[in-house]
Chains A and B, each alone.
Chain A
């Protein structure tokens, strides 16, 4: 899997946040639009795109988008 593609997939789950605001180092929990619904959308996207089932603790434990990428990568 590739980081830039993962970042784009994460950015696609946001409606109001511009894709340019989401990079590898973005602390996504701090984005204004981030909510439990977006968290579920991200978990679902990861399941669809990478066939990896993230746990709630994985979502809570990741600080940046790259952290999340690394968690997903480690589970493939």
Chain B
């Protein structure tokens, strides 16, 4: 079973950055008249942010990391491990974590790893970095997580583009023998790989002229083969069924008392779905923060972005027991229970 408990690692801070440019959902060209309002009513997403062409996910994560390190007062050369979680890598090779190591002025002895995961990526990334840090050889770490969905989706596809946004985050961790354990449930089903897929652009289907042809699949659904395809009904059925089971499995396995959770950080896929998951796990709805109304779904980055934009003061001023759940392409899903105590949370950065 995919249960994991890691010890001796404390979260020291979290920061997030979004582009200044606003994606104005009601005026997107993929919608027929009236459709935008219905979509917004169902998903809860009213606007999000979008990168200009020259800005990458690593730029947003870099800005978050710089500001976080400066507010923590950590020296850049103290960082022993950097993990970058995103589908939006700078290049096919080298790994983006390598580039960020150099750009942030980290030591060449710093361990660097890319994890090319989508919506489950923050929880997966947290499990990997805390596992690698828990024996004390690596003292300080950075988990950089985010997505530029605008670069991998078609702006002419109403099934995806209006729900998503761009953003990058940084979480700082340090070895601390007094830290409370982190608990994880990690799972996935590659049998449902085609539920969310960008068919061309990897080495299975390299990009050809054909890959770039824009094809209309129906009203408001035009895309090419390098861009994301979603089986909306398949993903909806998965999302209302599996994440609640994963959260319950985590709580049962580790005997977590749900009443002690201060905030439930559910991946910001859409509000309707989150409300449903919250009802199924019988969580107190007042403990569920939402960032999707103004930032949309930024894939792996939604949990830390919600922390920075919605529960910042709670994180800064006291102890928090948090339950997080991410789910999406893979299909892949993961839940975690983590605790924080007066952590550093800089203001949201706008680039």
Contacts and interface: CB of A to CB of B under 8 A. Distances in A.
B234 A55 contact: yes
Given A36-B159, A36-B232, A56-B231, A43 B237 contact: yes
B276 interface: yes
Interface of B: 38-39, 42, 159, 231-234, 236-237, 240-241, 272, 276
Contacts of B276: 44, 47-48
B233 A53 contact: no
B39 A37 contact: yes
Contacts of A53: 237, 240-241
Closest 5 CB pairs of A and B: A56-B233, A56-B234, A53-B241, A40-B236, A36-B232
A43 B233 contact: yes
Which size bracket describes the interface of A in this complex? 10 to 19
B237 A55 contact: yes
Contact of A44 (B159, B234, B272): B272
A59 interface: yes
A10 to B, nearest CB: 15
A53 B242 CA distance: 11
Given A41-B42, A48-B276, A53-B241, 17 more contacts: A36-B232, A37-B38, A37-B39, A37-B42, A39-B232, A40-B236, A40-B272, A43-B236, A43-B240, A47-B276, A53-B240, A55-B234, A56-B231, A56-B232, A56-B236, A56-B237, A60-B233
A54 interface: yes
Contacts of B159: 36
11 contacts: A36-B233, A40-B236, A40-B272, A43-B240, A44-B276, A53-B237, A54-B237, A55-B233, A55-B234, A56-B231, A56-B237
